[in-house]
Structure 1
Amino acid sequence: MDQIDRNLIALLQQDGRLSQATLAARTGLSQSAVNERLKRLTASGAVKIVGQADPQAVDMTLLAFIFVALDTPSRDDGFRAAMAADPSVLECHHITGDWSYLLKVRAGSVAGLEALISDRIKRLPGIVRSHTMLALSTAKETLALPLPLPPEE
């Protein structure tokens, strides 16, 4: 991946709907060169094309972070598989310290969050304890990685 690829990714992170003509103009490439690079970047997995729903618009406004402790590392694979399969779990991070995992989850209500914790997470084998924190508001939430933007012409 060269600097032009990084510039394309940075531009797309800023506005994923930029046309190939605009990307070409901002990077100094031809449209066909932009098209080929985007195909390669997508095929390699460096760029993922996704739609991101607004939590307010789809009534998933409750954001919570859940620390989870497992009794033994032999439970990791099963826990990870369960979290990967649960659509309410947005992120699952193996962490250091007193906890095994940190989850970022979304729910439509407190009852929905309670069901996730009580019925789906705490019933998994090896769960020793959990600790949940609710986000009261969100000052920043992004999927964009901190890549430098190319200068505009």
Structure 2
Amino acid sequence: MDRFDRAILDVLAVDGRISVADLARKIGLTKSPTQARLRRLERDGTIRGYRALVDPIRLGRDHVAFAEVKLTDTREAALTAFNEAVLAIPEIEECHMIAGAFDYLLKVRTNSMAGYRTLLAERISTLPNVAQTSTYVAMQAVKEGGLDAG
């Protein structure tokens, strides 16, 4: 990966809908080599896809909580079961395995504290091997998803 590949990635991180011609102009190459580089970055998995950044507040999902999760079992089968179950809960935006005093950190987005409380009781706490959870409620997003939160 050279400076042109990195420049392509930097531009696409800000504007994933930019035309190839505009992308080429921004990085200082012609359209053909820019398009070839772009296809290679997609093919080799460096660019995993494109998506719309949806405003969750406009969708009524403005309650953000972070949940620390401790498991009763951290052997590979238990971790796999937990990981697979987490993928089925759309309100869990992010799930990170943590090296520290707890096992996972979840970023959860719901419509309200009551909605979060229900999700925690009925879905998160019943995930495989969950022993304990601790919740931290976000008051404001300053930077989120690689972009400032406005």
TM-score, structure 2 normalization = 0.89
**Alignment-mate amino acid for residue 14 of structure 2:** Q
Deviation of 1:89 after TM superposition, in Å, equals 0.9
> What's the counterpart of residue 134 of structure 1?
137
How many residues in Structure 1 have an aligned counterpart in Structure 2?
144
Q: 1:10 to 1:53 in 2, by over 3 A?
A: same
> What's the counterpart of residue 148 of structure 1?
none
> What's the counterpart of residue 57 of structure 2?
56
> What's the counterpart of residue 23 of structure 1?
23
Mapped contact 2:23–2:34 kept (Cα < 8 A): yes
Structure 2: give runs of 5+ residues left out of the alignment: none
Deviation of 1:40 after TM superposition, in Å, equals 1.6
1:113 maps onto 2:109 in alignment: no
Mapped contact 2:85–2:128 kept (Cα < 8 A): no
1: distance between equivalents of 2:113 and 2:130? Answer: 21
CA shift digits 1:10-65 (9 cap, x unpaired): 01112222221111112121112222211221222212211111011111101110
Structure 1: give runs of 5+ residues left out of the alignment: 145-153
2: distance between equivalents of 1:6 and 1:40? Answer: 13
**Alignment-mate amino acid for residue 122 of structure 2:** D
**Alignment-mate amino acid for residue 102 of structure 1:** L
Mapped contact 2:68–2:103 kept (Cα < 8 A): yes
1: distance between equivalents of 2:128 and 2:18? Answer: 46
**Alignment-mate amino acid for residue 42 of structure 1:** E
Higher relative contact order (CA 8 A, sep 6+): 1
> What's the counterpart of residue 86 of structure 1?
89
Aligned pair partner of 1:125 in 118, 125, 128: 128
TM-score, structure 1 normalization = 0.87
- Aligned residues: CA RMSD: 1.4
